[in-house]
Amino acid sequence: MRILLWHVHGSWTDAFVRGRHEYLLPLLPEGGPWGLGRAGRNWPSSVREVALAELDAGSIDAVVLQRPEEAGEVTRVLGRRPGVDLPAVYVEHNTPKGDVPFTIHPLGDQRDIPIVHVTHFNELFWDSGRAPTKVIEHGIADPGYLYTGEVPELGVVVNEPVRRGRVTGTDLLPRFATAAPLQVFGMGGDGLAEATGIPAPRLTVRGDLKTAQLHRELARCRAYLHPLRWTSLGLALLEAMHLGMPVLALATTEAARAVPPEAGCISTDVEELRRCARLLVNDPEEARRRGKAAREAALERYGLERFLADWDEVLADLAPTDLGDGPQRGSEEVAASEEAASEGSGPDALSAARERNTH
């Protein structure tokens, strides 16, 4: 199939485009959230950058939507309505915001476009309304067992920790820094020391590294810390587990299902997590043992082969022969959903800041 999708969440896309299809990624000269293309990623040759306005609309077999505004943009530029005369599926990467658990999904008032939730927690907490739903859990391209744990510090991967604050558990970092020094990776780390008050010897801001370099540097840390309170399921956590790192995680959202106790420590009790952090820092062999359990669990549940097979089933169910001649109620319902979710439509309605590691 020829599948159109925007490059929204890099880590999720990294897994999705390793399937057996052709993947068309819109590219704009200025880049940005509506035209990143490959963004320099080392992806298969089946991933093609395209100018959306110049694309032959009839050549697309399906569109994978990831933001409410995308349905309107596809209709505006290509003249084909997702879910009506263009097979479509919507991927929900994020936990609901607002009056949880009463938050209604932007596509909850239509039936033509199924919603694929990336975690069971998301499917449970979103009110998906009339929309058909399915859960396809994350899959990770295995980076291999890279763990050395040679540095007695805690590795953390979080984007924009200063701006996102309590969502990412940034306020908890000073407490963990008393148990072990922190290395924080990710975008938007400038000002983290000032925001948290953690002194330089206990905090190193590493910045946004390329994936391969991130994996190597992260795997040198004794353990991985996942302090996020409200996130779908950070793919960085699953990557750390694949690397063979023991993990310390808040037992919130999907992490409570993804991390078995033997993989490190998972709890809503921060003091319990701090005690475990000290144990792992002081006992490299125990850290290695728990890290191997983490890798085993991640390979079993979050392997790439299962992920791609699940997606093949969903894509096969998008039946183009059923579209095109039927009633057009779907386009009106999707438009109503978009209006409720956003004051505008198209690229101008979307903030350029996207939380890559929050799924």
Q: What is the pLDDT of residues 181-210, one digit of tens each?
A: 999 999 999 999 999 999 999 999 999 999
Residue 303 has pLDDT above 70, yes or no: yes
Please state, rounded to an integer, the average pLDDT across all residues of the chain.
90
Q: Is 279 in contact with 152 (CB distance < 8 Å)?
A: no
Residue 341 has pLDDT above 50, yes or no: no
Indicate whether 145 belongs to any domain.
Answer: no
* Residue whose entry in the numeric block shows the structure tokens 């100018």: 51
- Rounded to whole angstroms, the Cα distance separating 100 from 95 reads 9
Q: What are 117's strand-pairing partners?
A: 92, 135
Q: Tell me, yes or no, whether 226 and 330 share the same domain.
A: no
Query: Per residue in 38-66, is it b (16+ CB within 10 Å) or e — as a string?
Result: beebebeeebebbebeebeeeebbbbbbb
Q: Tell me, yes or no, whether 52 and 156 share the same domain.
A: no
Q: How many domains does the chain have?
A: 2
Q: Quick one: pLDDT at residue 293?
A: 98
Q: What is the CATH number of the domain that holds 216?
A: 3.40.50.2000
Q: Quick one: pLDDT at residue 320?
A: 56
Q: What is the pLDDT of residues 221-235, one digit of tens each?
A: 999 999 999 999 999
Q: Tell me, yes or no, whether 174 and 260 share the same domain.
A: yes
Q: Once rounded to an integer, what is the mean pLDDT over residues 246-261?
A: 96
Nearest to 314 by CA among 123, 110, 44, 90: 90
- Rounded to whole angstroms, the Cα distance separating 132 from 9 reads 23
Q: Tell me, yes or no, whether 30 and 96 share the same domain.
A: yes
| DSSP assignment string, 123-155 | HHHSB-TTS-EEE----B----------EEEEE
* Three-class SS state of 354: coil
Q: Which two tokens stand for residue 260?
A: 């078995």
Q: Tell me, yes or no, whether 100 and 120 share the same domain.
A: yes
8-state DSSP, 33: T
Q: Tell me, yes or no, whether 290 and 321 share the same domain.
A: no
Return the ∠ at Cα 352 (arms to 349 and 356), rounded to 5°.
120
Q: Tell me, yes or no, whether 92 and 165 share the same domain.
A: no
Q: Tell me, yes or no, whether 91 and 122 share the same domain.
A: yes
Q: Is 129 in contact with 155 (CB distance < 8 Å)?
A: no
Residue 358 has pLDDT above 90, yes or no: no
Indicate whether 235 belongs to any domain.
Answer: yes
One-letter amino acid of 142: D
Indicate whether 272 belongs to any domain.
Answer: yes
Q: Which range of residues forms the domain containing residue 24?
A: 2-139+304-349
Q: Tell me, yes or no, whether 181 and 312 share the same domain.
A: no
- Rounded to whole angstroms, the Cα distance separating 16 from 124 reads 23
Q: Tell me, yes or no, whether 21 and 55 share the same domain.
A: yes
Indicate whether 359 belongs to any domain.
Answer: no
Q: Tell me, yes or no, whether 48 and 124 share the same domain.
A: yes
Phi and psi angles of residue 117, each rounded to the nearest 5 degrees, phi first: -90, 140
**Stretch (H or E) spanning 173:** helix 173-177
Q: What is the CATH number of the domain that holds 36?
A: 3.40.50
Q: What is the pLDDT of residues 137-160, one digit of tens each?
A: 999 999 999 999 999 999 999 999
Q: Which two tokens stand for residue 114?
A: 């199924």
Q: Quick one: pLDDT at residue 319?
A: 61
- Rounded to whole angstroms, the Cα distance separating 20 from 243 reads 26
The proportion of the chain whose per-residue pLDDT surpasses 90, expressed as a percent, equals 87
Q: What is the pLDDT of residues 81-97, one digit of tens each?
A: 999 999 999 999 999 99
- Rounded to whole angstroms, the Cα distance separating 224 from 248 reads 6
Phi and psi angles of residue 304, each rounded to the nearest 5 degrees, phi first: -70, -40
pLDDT band with cut points at 50, 70 and 90 for residue 338 = very low
Q: Tell me, yes or no, whether 184 and 206 share the same domain.
A: yes
- Burial (CB count <10 Å: 0-12, 13-18, 19+), residue 261: exposed
Indicate whether 357 belongs to any domain.
Answer: no
Indicate whether 101 belongs to any domain.
Answer: yes
- Rounded to whole angstroms, the Cα distance separating 253 from 166 reads 15
Q: Quick one: pLDDT at residue 356?
A: 36
Indicate whether 287 belongs to any domain.
Answer: yes
Indicate whether 270 belongs to any domain.
Answer: yes
Q: Once rounded to an integer, what is the mean pLDDT over residues 109-127?
A: 97
Q: What is the pLDDT of residues 305-334, one digit of tens each?
A: 999 999 999 999 996 544 444 333 344 444
Q: Is 141 in contact with 13 (CB distance < 8 Å)?
A: no
Residues 6+ apart with CB under 8 A from 334: 71, 72, 81, 82, 83, 107, 110, 112, 113
